[in-house]
Structure 1
Amino acid sequence: MQPVEINAGTWYLRSLRADERITDVPALSHLQVDDPTTYVTAAQRGWESETRFVWAICIPTTGELIALIGITTDGSSGRLWGEARDGYDEALDAAIGPVTRFAEGALGLPVGEPLSRGIY
């Protein structure tokens, strides 16, 4: 599956990037990701294999990553997880509903557990 962009009200959700136009590597470092470049590659593979769906929650005017949210498949259901940079918990909270609806409606993955904090 190709990554799907989501509008979460004030926030814009897109796949992770590390290319000549946009790089999320510095922002991922702020989220304590040990190897941000490898993390971006793994996130892309997760979309391709439909096992892990990761979105950058971004400021719409700049595209700057301020939080991450994702769904990891767990058998016939999905586990929702996410983490925000300092001061951006509201962006993560705003993304929960749209991402949950995408998981349940488009992927057929019920999300029963509340958001797990952290990066997976």
Structure 2
Amino acid sequence: MEPVEINAGGWYLRALRADERVDDRPALTDGGIDDAEYVTRRAAQWLSDEHYSWAICQPNTGELLAEVGLTPSAESARLSGWARTGHHDALEAGSDAVQRFAEGALGLTVHR
């Protein structure tokens, strides 16, 4: 599946990026993720339907505040995520939005 963007009210969810316009790698490092290939691997996982992940962003700056992921397995999926310090509200709102998307659009039963 191609990455899907989600509007979660006060938050904007999009695929992780590391390109000339947006680079999430500094925020990922701030969140404890130092893997240089992390963004590339997450993009490949979208295309293989192995794992879907969203950067939960501040809508007017695009800054990554948290990441939420969905790992499908048959007709269910596991929801997981992490947040940078002070941004657990973004993770909670983003997780709720991804759960609604997974259940409504993909027909999956979501487990947290």
- Taking structure 2 as the reference length, the TM-score comes to 0.94
Describe the SS at the equivalent of 1:33: coil
Separation (CA, whole Å) in 2 of partners of 1:75 and 1:39: 25
Deviation of residue 82 (structure 1)? 0.5
2: CA distance, partners of 1:96 / 1:53: 12
1:118 aligned partner: none
Gaps of 5+ in 2: none
Q: Shift of the alpha carbon at 1:59?
A: 0.4
Which residue is 1:18 aligned to? 18
Written as runs of structure 1 = structure 2, the 5 A alignment for 1:1-120 is: 1-35=1-35, 37-111=36-110, 113-114=111-112
Aligned alpha-carbon RMSD (Å): 1.0
Structure 1 residues not aligned, in runs of 5+: 115-120
- Percent identical residues: 55
Q: How many residues align?
A: 112
Letter in 2 for 1:82: G
Q: Could you tell me how far 1:95 is from its partner in structure 2?
A: 1.1
Question: Any idea what the Cα deviations from partners look like across 1:26-59, whole Å, max 9, x if unmatched?
Answer: 0000111131x31101110111011200000000
Q: Deviations over 1:86-115 (max 9, x none)?
A: 00000011112210011112222210x32x
Secondary structure (helix, strand or coil) at the match of 1:104 reads: helix
Distance in 1, matches of 2:2 and 2:105, equals 13
